Amino acid sequence: MRSEVNSKIDSLKEDIIKSTQELVKIRSVEEKGQEGKPFGEGVSDALEKALEIGRNLGLKTGNVDGYAGFIEIGCGKEMVGILCHLDVVPEGSGWTYPPYGAEIHNNKIYGRGTLDNKGPAVAALYAMKAVNDLGFDLNKRVRLILGTDEESGWEGLKYYLEKEEIPDSAFSPDAEYPVILGEKGILNIKIKSLFNNENNSGLVSIKGGNAPNMVPDYCEAVFDIVVNHDEIVSKLNEFKERTGFKLEVEKSGESLIIKSYGKSAHGSLPEDGHNAISQLMVFLSDMISTDDALGKFIKFYKERIGMEYYGESIGCHLRDDVSGPLTFNVGMVNINQNSGEIIVNIRYPVTLSRDKVLNGIKQIIDQTEFRLEEMEHMEPLYVPKNDPLVQKLMKVYREFTGDDRDPITIGGGTYARAVEKAVAFGPIFPGQPELAHQKDEYIDIDDLIKNAKIYANAIIELAT
């Protein structure tokens, strides 16, 4: 590792912390677009702030019509890209510290986006600043590309790729170390049912979840007050004692509300969370015995999804030796007296196809009156282990950490899959918890600085 680079990063530590805090304080959750701000006010503010930081550091910047931005150093025909995003998933509930406070406690910056992906974006930006200031003779340009709706559709990056130059190679600091050479395919589906006003249970609505790619930590069912309160409480207590699940029931005006509490996690790692939607639906299946359309939909959920997260009962229990098992996460539910729908986030193995996944699920759905709709889809990513991009990044990682482990594959999806030759690289070190999309998300300041050093050395390795 180049000691002068590491020393330069150390000298920038306070600026790195300050810039991370400035970005985290902006609630950059996608909202309704407006002129010049296609993903809403907060996302636009975050993009402008990042570009402002880049300009103040003396680097070249560009705003691509509000859909994306870039910050660049170096010269040459070829380009190395660093792919980051500034949008965040909704904050959810139950935070110890304010989700947009960017407060520092025990050497950690807390807040939504600290890890996913504003902290790593700042680390990459200051890595570029260090390399630029030290005058390394780069024969390639290095461009930090800042996307704006990575969490909800990638339209910002797609717009950038249509309007701007595409990197010849790239890495995305939006996952974990060491190099991630494979990312599972991502498929969002919707399972729907129409009830035609058939509802004999007294159920008014079921709502839960903030995004498909989050394990939901809260869901609630609302009933007409005419429902037998004592009977529900008795069944709820028996269910809680038998399962250990956390549910509560309360009266609210003319309604009865059953509240389900789970544990949030990234949608690619449903086993790390506890799905509040699933546990509520399992309970309701035990409680609601009606054979109307609503009852059938809830019963289907229990029998074909339940508390499973590998698709065992719904026809997509698949895996490969490269990337492991498919994961199946119900991220959102919306049921009323007329219709019901669930939105599912699926991560499927890198050597398999979307059609194989969908065909298995369709065989199950086709036996019902429900409808299956395909939503967003992203193909898997796989770069061979002997590719020079992988080899150079692994060299930097091993020199910095002394860790000889091999490259890995993940279920998460990063911007790396948007470029022909790209991989994910950091920021989470082996053994550290995955906090993306969870309450109390944070980045350790020491790790923030380590990442900046690794990315600076990676830039030199790839661009000289």
CATH for 336: 3.30.70.360
pLDDT above 60 for 183: yes
Q: What is the pLDDT of residue 286?
A: 83
Q: Model-level pTM?
A: 0.76
Q: What is the pLDDT of residue 319?
A: 95
Helices (H), 97-178: 119-133, 155-163
Contact indicator for 85, 147 with CB cutoff of 8 Å: yes
The region, left, alpha or beta by phi > 0 then psi within -120 to 50, assigned to residue 311 is left
Q: What is the CATH number of the domain that holds 12?
A: 3.40.630.10
* Whether 123 and 267 share a structural domain: no
* Whether 163 and 238 share a structural domain: no
* Whether 347 and 391 share a structural domain: no
**Is beta strand 79-85 parallel, antiparallel or unpaired with respect to 422-425?**
unpaired
* Whether 164 and 312 share a structural domain: no
Angle in degrees, 0-180, between the axes of helices 13-24 and 119-133, rounded to the nearest 10:
140
Amino acid at 50: A
**Catalytic one of 72, 91, 149, 150:** 150
Amino acid at 206: I
Active site residue 150: yes
* Whether 44 and 95 share a structural domain: yes
Angle in degrees, 0-180, between the axes of helices 3-11 and 445-463, rounded to the nearest 10:
140
pLDDT above 80 for 212: yes
* Whether 134 and 51 share a structural domain: yes
Contact indicator for 40, 155 with CB cutoff of 8 Å: no
The parent domain of residue 145 ranges over: 3-183+381-463
Active site residue 87: yes
Looking at every residue in the chain, the average pLDDT score rounds to: 94
* Whether 242 and 333 share a structural domain: yes
Mean pLDDT of 403-429: 93
- Partnered with residue 81 across adjacent β-strands are 143, 170
pLDDT band, residue 260 (cuts 50/70/90): very high
* Domain termination site, one of 363, 378, 393: 378
Q: What is the pLDDT of residue 200?
A: 62
* Domain termination site, one of 378, 400, 416: 378
* Whether 216 and 338 share a structural domain: yes
Q: What percent of the chain has pLDDT over 70?
A: 98
* Domain termination site, one of 316, 350, 378: 378
* Whether 323 and 345 share a structural domain: yes
Model confidence pLDDT, tens digit, residues 14-73? 999 999 999 999 999 999 999 999 999 999 999 999 999 999 999 999 999 999 999 999
Question: Minimal CA–CA distance to 8: which of 464, 461, 449?
Answer: 449
Contact indicator for 123, 117 with CB cutoff of 8 Å: no
pLDDT band, residue 397 (cuts 50/70/90): very high
* Whether 243 and 266 share a structural domain: yes
The residue with tokens 């490259």 is 407
**Catalytic one of 87, 116, 176, 441:** 87
Q: Per the structure, how many domains does the chain have?
A: 2
pLDDT above 70 for 414: yes
DSSP state of 95: -
Mean pLDDT of 167-195: 95
* Whether 390 and 311 share a structural domain: no
d(CA 46, CA 57): 17
* Whether 158 and 240 share a structural domain: no
Helix (H, G, I), strand (E, B) or coil at 184: coil
Q: Tell me the C-alpha to C-alpha distance, in Å, between residue 60 and each of 8, 63, 219.
A: 20, 11, 46
